[in-house]
Structure 1
Amino acid sequence: MTEQPVYSTLGFSDEEWGLLTGLPLAVLTAASAAESDGTRRTLAESAAGLEAVAGGREGASPLVTAVAQEVVSRAGDPEAGEELPLVAPQDPEAYIADVLHRSGAAAALLRDRVDEGEAGAYAHWLVGIAEQVVTAAPSGGMLGIGGDRVTEPERRFRDELSKALRD
């Protein structure tokens, strides 16, 4: 007897599971791309985002735990010192719009498939990832001194993400 994939036991198709497992890193990338930063700041944002993704493995939500485990198994475990490669979308605005669209699709999928608590936990986790990324490194200033902790474009992305996910 062959084992069923995790997504199947949770009631999702392969395509649906791809949507759910693809969003955490997409949110991380979009949150980082919301404000053009230097390499050092982008690295700090990426590390903070990967920590937030990995943190989902320890939550109370079976859905978030399963998604986080899948993402970390593919992307790397920050506890093992692994880092994400830097990803800079060619067109940040289009990338952000796509992530927001996919987030809305994931929210609709979860409203139809899981209870409100599971859907809310997933949405809250994604917004938390965005929050960790946008607060990881101040933008502007000189030599890391001064600048805005969260810029208007970063705040706007985080708020639009929350709205798309209904968090």
Structure 2
Amino acid sequence: MLAPEVPMSHSLAGGPPPAGRRAAPLTTAVYSATEWDLLTGLPGRVVVVAAAPAPGRSSRGVAAGLAGLEAVAGGRAFDSDLVRAVVATIYARQEEHAPSGRVGRGRRRRGAAPTDPVELLADCRAATRVLRRRADPADSAAYRQWVQSVAARVCRADQDACPLGPADQRLLDRLGVALGLR
């Protein structure tokens, strides 16, 4: 059974279209529900993985999580319909799931920890493949750079202008490769 298609349009980023007007511009890309869940869940998972304690990295404070949330929210100002639509969906899902405490929907393999960087990198590669097939090249590049910038903000949150530690730099490098930026 095929997953239902989710249209990506300007209206997702900026609200419902006026009555009687078509919601989708000519450049609309179409994502399956699974693909859209991947694209909308990835930024939050990047925050979780980048903020999680790991070998060679000090424990992150609240500032790192807040920096990640600010970086995700900063996507609303991007000059990319795709990035703005992803942020709008993230916020809509947060409102939907607020009473239960569940925020967003991302895919996780059964038994995998939400802080598993190997799974995150695999999902980054999958998202990159989806974007290559379905997205406008400029939107694809903007989305991938935005996701990388979210991780960088988290990793640098507690650094106070110091250079990144080797573990943080390794995570950002691996993320850049998985996102097709390097």
Shorter-chain TM-score range:
0.7 to 0.9
Identify the residue that residue 88 of structure 2 maps to in structure 1.
Answer: 69
Please say if residues 103 and 165 of structure 1, whose CA atoms lie closer than 8 Å, have aligned partners that are also in contact.
Answer: yes
Over 3 Å counting, the alpha-carbon distance change for 1:155 and 1:43 in structure 2 is same
User: Deviations along 1:90-143, whole A, 9 cap, x unmatched?
Assistant: 584xx10100000000001100111221110000000000010000013xxxxx
Please say if residues 6 and 33 of structure 2, whose CA atoms lie closer than 8 Å, have aligned partners that are also in contact.
Answer: no
Q: CA RMSD in A?
A: 2.6
The separation in 1 between residues aligned to 2:6 and 2:140, in whole angstroms, is 20
* 1:38-117 equivalences in 2 (<5 Å): 38=59, 41-75=60-94, 92=115, 95-117=116-138
Unpaired stretches in structure 2, ≥5 consecutive residues? 10-23, 96-102, 104-111
Matched, 1:153 2:167: yes
Over 3 Å counting, the alpha-carbon distance change for 1:91 and 1:119 in structure 2 is closer
The separation in 2 between residues aligned to 1:49 and 1:135, in whole angstroms, is 10
Identify the residue that residue 18 of structure 1 maps to in structure 2.
Answer: 37
Matched, 1:164 2:178: yes
Please say if residues 6 and 66 of structure 1, whose CA atoms lie closer than 8 Å, have aligned partners that are also in contact.
Answer: no
Over 3 Å counting, the alpha-carbon distance change for 1:34 and 1:71 in structure 2 is same
Please say if residues 127 and 162 of structure 1, whose CA atoms lie closer than 8 Å, have aligned partners that are also in contact.
Answer: yes
TM value normalised by structure 2 = 0.69
The separation in 1 between residues aligned to 2:153 and 2:43, in whole angstroms, is 12
Unpaired stretches in structure 1, ≥5 consecutive residues? 77-83, 139-145
Aligned identity (percent) is 35
Identify the residue that residue 12 of structure 2 maps to in structure 1.
Answer: none
TM value normalised by structure 1 = 0.75
Identify the residue that residue 51 of structure 2 maps to in structure 1.
Answer: 32
User: Deviations along 1:72-104, whole A, 9 cap, x unmatched?
Assistant: 33347xxxxxxx8xxxx9584xx1010000000
The separation in 2 between residues aligned to 1:5 and 1:150, in whole angstroms, is 39
The separation in 2 between residues aligned to 1:90 and 1:100, in whole angstroms, is 13
Output the amino acid matched with 1:50: L
Output the amino acid matched with 1:130: A
Matched, 1:136 2:154: no
Determine which structure has the larger helix proportion and give its number. 1
